[in-house]
Structure 1
Amino acid sequence: MRYDSITQAIGNTPLVRIDPRVHGLRHIDLYAKLELLNPFGSVKDRAAWNMVRPGLETAVERGSQIVELSSGNTAKALSVIAGMHGLSFKSVTNRMRIPEIKDLLLLLGAEIEELPGRSECLDPTDTDDPLTLFHHALSDPDSAYLHTDQYFNDRNTEAHALGTGPEIVKDLDGRVPDWFVACVGTAGSSTGVARVLREHDPRVRVVGLVADKSDFIPGIRTIDEVHEVGLFDPATYDTMESVTADEAIDGMLTLARRCGILAGPTGGAAYFGTVRHLRALDAGLGAGLGAGPAGSAERRTAVFIVCDRIESYLSYVRRRRPDLLGLAPRKNSLLDVSGTEIATVASVRVREAQEWIAREQPLVIDLRSPSAYAALHIEHAVNIVDELFAELVRGGLPFSARKPVLLTCPVGDKSARYAALLTRMGHTDARSLDGGIIAWRDAGAPLVRD
């Protein structure tokens, strides 16, 4: 097949049937939409090209810089597109969490600007957040930048309403799957595909998958974070379910080892969440309970999206499952902390924390990024980024077990896990700031700036 431009190769990705011997569903045919086979490697190729295209000619005339608030696949696609048209690209983010993606962006010539955002996801209502202020400046009609604005740009959704959704229907010979399952990041792909499928058959069931709270899966938001995304509409989904990082990696391994699909953790999460959701429904179909949406005895169909490729996430796997790479298991890992341990940790509210600091002078550890810490932090707090702190505690307690410690993070979830881990390791007084730095700020407690 001949093309005049690599962008013409975006879309028309394969829909591949998963062998029933792998997933074990007896009455449901399961298909994977292989968006990892887009030319730049991910589902974001569609949205990036659709968002940038209308302003591209003017941007070339002006020599504008393309800018996006992204640290992942959207940034990667836009970097390539910008370079093809003689333009520069800037990725604005509050943390690059995947080293391979950062290295690739730099290799592609991207400029990376890390701003001290308060959370991992842009919150347009937080007018004091530097990331939000930057977003508003980029969205100004007189801006010298071409801002693609993936979290609020309807052309993100449109790319999938015009491409991904119709392709699924076409490849199923005009039929609509009984279930469509998608991980939720910007919500562009799930919203666009769901819209098209429901236009063909409103009985389709749409399942949105999010990352488990306090967990991290690249490209997927937690249930709290998705509500900060402008394209997210709860009405799109018939149900929302969470997936853990371990489950995402297990799904990724199954796709790679059993199906030959070299999916990243997002695709693994989609596979794992899909099979888990359908297992009980499949059993109901076998019992003649008519559990499927169509209410008939015929075989049912489900489709999930494989967003990107495995190669960019080896460091992610190495940190969470070193045994898979022939490495020794990690000691004192945050990933092993149970919900019961977290529930019993001492979590102190702002007023109580202020009194405790004044009385006992505990060591206050701020686990946020250096840029966020520099913007605002509790006076005398020590900044140890959570990834570095994780490495420290693997070697044992990094300070006296009797030294009182107050751990802080943006919203108090990560700090509670660390406090539980330190307690398990024998620390006598490790506490977490309830609600994190955001609760401290909202209570009007003093913060200082570097």
Structure 2
Amino acid sequence: MRYDSITDAIGGTPLLRIDPAVTGLRTIDLYAKLELLNPFGSVKDRAAWNMTRAALPEAVRRGDTLVELSSGNTAKALALIAGMHGLPFRSVTNRMKVPEVKDLLLLLGAEIEELPGRAECLDPTDTDDPLTRIHRMLSEAESGYLHTDQYYNPLNVEAHLTGTGPEIVRDLDGRAPDHFIACVGTAGSSTGVAAVLRAHNPAVQVLGLVAHKSDFIPGIRTIDEVHEVGLFDPGTYDGIASVTADQAIDGMLTLVRRCGVLAGPTGGGAYYGALRHLRALEAEATGDGPAGSGSTDAGPTGSGERRTAVFIVCDRVESYLGYLRDRRPELFNQPPRPHSVASLTPAELEAARVVDVDAARKWIAEDHPLVVDLRGPFAYAALHIEGSINIVDELFDELLHGGLPFGRRQPVLLACPIGEKSVRYAALLTRMGHQDVRSLAGGIIGWRDAGAPLVRD
């Protein structure tokens, strides 16, 4: 094929049938939509180009700066598009959590502005959050910015209404799959594809996948975060399920090692969640449960017709080697890291001490515990508990690998955005022999919502 522009190569990605010998599925064919083969490496190429192409001529005439609240694949695609048209690109984010992505953006000439958002992602309902104020400023006319606004822009969804969704139907010989399993980030791809598939088959079942509450999986939001995304509509999905970081990595390893697909953790999470869901449906429909007979040749409806399911491989593995090395050092012939939250048992998590805001305030006033804020430095600078110290969770994780960072008898209160990460660290410190460590229930957001005082640097 010949192209006049690299953007002409966006879309038209293959639909790959995953070998049933790998999936173990007997009545359902599972297909992967290989969005990692877009020219910039991810499904976000479609949205980035669709959100910019009509506005680019005028932006070039004015000399605007292309800008987006993104620290991942959308920023990468927009940086490349901006460079092709001689425009600067600025990535505005609370925190760059994947070092390789940050390095790549800098290589592409992007300006990275880490602002003091109070949570880890944009919360449009929090009018005092600096990220929200920046979002509104960027959206004003004549601002000097071309703000693509991926969290609200209908062109994000349109890219998949006109591209990804129709391609899936075309490659399935004009039929929509019976099941569509989608990880939820900005919700653009899942919303657009689901609408197309339902137009062809109203009975298609759509499962949305989110990250487990206390886990970070690049490209997937947690169930708490996803409600902060303007494009997210719970009605799009017939169900929402979560996957853990470990499950996403397990799924990714299967795609990489058994299927030859260089998927990142998001695609791995989609594969793991899809397979878990489909195996449960298959077992239920074929009577393969505890008392089942285990028919092997009938479809889930008993009709004998095989059904189909599709998931999206969103991006490539190369950008996440540091993320993988931190969580699975054995994959890189390195010894397991001591004192890891990943090794905590459910019983240890259940036993961790958690205090609500009122109890925490009383404890601080009476016993003066060391209050450790685990959020990023910009969020901490915006608002924090008076007298607290800031140790970013990644650094805190490193400290724990070397042993207890505090005296065993030093009372410690841990706080994170919503109280999920801090309870894990409290459980780990307790296992390591710390005598009095507690986690703030609801985190800094819960503290704020309870009307407790916060100070600003």
TM-score (norm. length: structure 2): 0.96
CA distance in 2, matches of 1:289, 1:232: 38
Following superposition, the deviation at residue 290 of structure 1 comes to: 11
2:452 pairs with 438, 445, 449, which one?
A: 445
Are the counterparts in 2 of residues 214 and 414 from structure 1 also a CA contact under 8 Å?
A: yes
Partner of 2:334: 327
CA distance in 1, matches of 2:382, 2:27: 55
1:395 pairs with 388, 402, 405, which one?
A: 402
Partner of 2:52: 52
Are the counterparts in 2 of residues 284 and 291 from structure 1 also a CA contact under 8 Å?
A: no
Shift of the 291–422 alpha-carbon distance from structure 1 to 2, 3 Å rule, reads farther
CA distance in 1, matches of 2:296, 2:25: 16
Partner of 1:370: 377
Q: How does 1:6-85 map to 2 (within 5 A)?
A: 6-85=6-85
CA distance in 2, matches of 1:151, 1:143: 19
Matched residue SS, 2:97: coil
Are the counterparts in 1 of residues 182 and 311 from structure 2 also a CA contact under 8 Å?
A: yes
CA distance in 1, matches of 2:120, 2:297: 42
Q: Deviations over 1:40-82 (max 9, x none)?
A: 0000000000001121111000000000000000000000000
Are the counterparts in 2 of residues 290 and 296 from structure 1 also a CA contact under 8 Å?
A: no
Shifted more, 295-304 versus 42-51: the winner is 295-304
Q: How does 1:128-207 map to 2 (within 5 A)?
A: 128-207=128-207
Partner of 1:351: 358
Partner of 1:213: 213
Q: How does 1:220-239 map to 2 (within 5 A)?
A: 220-239=220-239
Partner of 2:422: 415
2:390 pairs with 379, 383, 395, which one?
A: 383
Shifted more, 42-51 versus 345-354: the winner is 345-354
Following superposition, the deviation at residue 291 of structure 1 comes to: 9.7
Are the counterparts in 1 of residues 34 and 313 from structure 2 also a CA contact under 8 Å?
A: yes
CA distance in 1, matches of 2:121, 2:45: 20
Shift of the 292–444 alpha-carbon distance from structure 1 to 2, 3 Å rule, reads farther
Are the counterparts in 2 of residues 282 and 291 from structure 1 also a CA contact under 8 Å?
A: no
Following superposition, the deviation at residue 289 of structure 1 comes to: 11
Q: Deviations over 1:228-284 (max 9, x none)?
A: 111011111111111110010011000010000000000000111111100022234
Are the counterparts in 1 of residues 298 and 304 from structure 2 also a CA contact under 8 Å?
A: no
Partner of 1:252: 252
Partner of 2:275: 275
Q: Deviations over 1:187-246 (max 9, x none)?
A: 000110000000011011111111011001000011111111110111111111111100
CA distance in 2, matches of 1:379, 1:231: 36
CA distance in 2, matches of 1:109, 1:320: 30
Gaps of 5+ in 1: none
Following superposition, the deviation at residue 340 of structure 1 comes to: 2.7
CA distance in 2, matches of 1:73, 1:111: 15
Q: Using the aligned pairs only, state the percent identity.
A: 73
Are the counterparts in 2 of residues 292 and 300 from structure 1 also a CA contact under 8 Å?
A: yes
Are the counterparts in 2 of residues 284 and 290 from structure 1 also a CA contact under 8 Å?
A: no
CA distance in 2, matches of 1:355, 1:203: 54
CA distance in 2, matches of 1:120, 1:269: 20
1:405 pairs with 412, 421, 424, which one?
A: 412
Are the counterparts in 2 of residues 15 and 34 from structure 1 also a CA contact under 8 Å?
A: yes
Following superposition, the deviation at residue 295 of structure 1 comes to: 7.0
CA distance in 1, matches of 2:251, 2:296: 28
Matched residue SS, 2:131: helix
Are the counterparts in 2 of residues 13 and 35 from structure 1 also a CA contact under 8 Å?
A: yes
Partner of 1:121: 121
Number of equivalenced pairs: 450
Matched residue SS, 1:240: strand
Shifted more, 23-32 versus 101-110: the winner is 23-32
Amino acid at match of 1:98: V
Shift of the 186–292 alpha-carbon distance from structure 1 to 2, 3 Å rule, reads farther
Amino acid at match of 1:411: I
CA distance in 1, matches of 2:300, 2:20: 20
Partner of 2:290: none
Shifted more, 73-82 versus 277-286: the winner is 277-286
Are the counterparts in 2 of residues 27 and 286 from structure 1 also a CA contact under 8 Å?
A: no
Q: Deviations over 1:130-188 (max 9, x none)?
A: 00010011111232100000010010000001000000010111111111111000000
* In the alignment, structure 1 residue 243 sits paired with structure 2 residue 243: yes
Are the counterparts in 1 of residues 298 and 305 from structure 2 also a CA contact under 8 Å?
A: no
Are the counterparts in 2 of residues 35 and 43 from structure 1 also a CA contact under 8 Å?
A: yes
Shifted more, 440-449 versus 227-236: the winner is 440-449
Are the counterparts in 2 of residues 281 and 292 from structure 1 also a CA contact under 8 Å?
A: no
CA distance in 2, matches of 1:81, 1:243: 32
Amino acid at match of 1:46: R
Shift of the 33–143 alpha-carbon distance from structure 1 to 2, 3 Å rule, reads same
CA distance in 2, matches of 1:286, 1:100: 45
Matched residue SS, 1:54: coil
* In the alignment, structure 1 residue 342 sits paired with structure 2 residue 335: no
Shifted more, 347-356 versus 103-112: the winner is 347-356
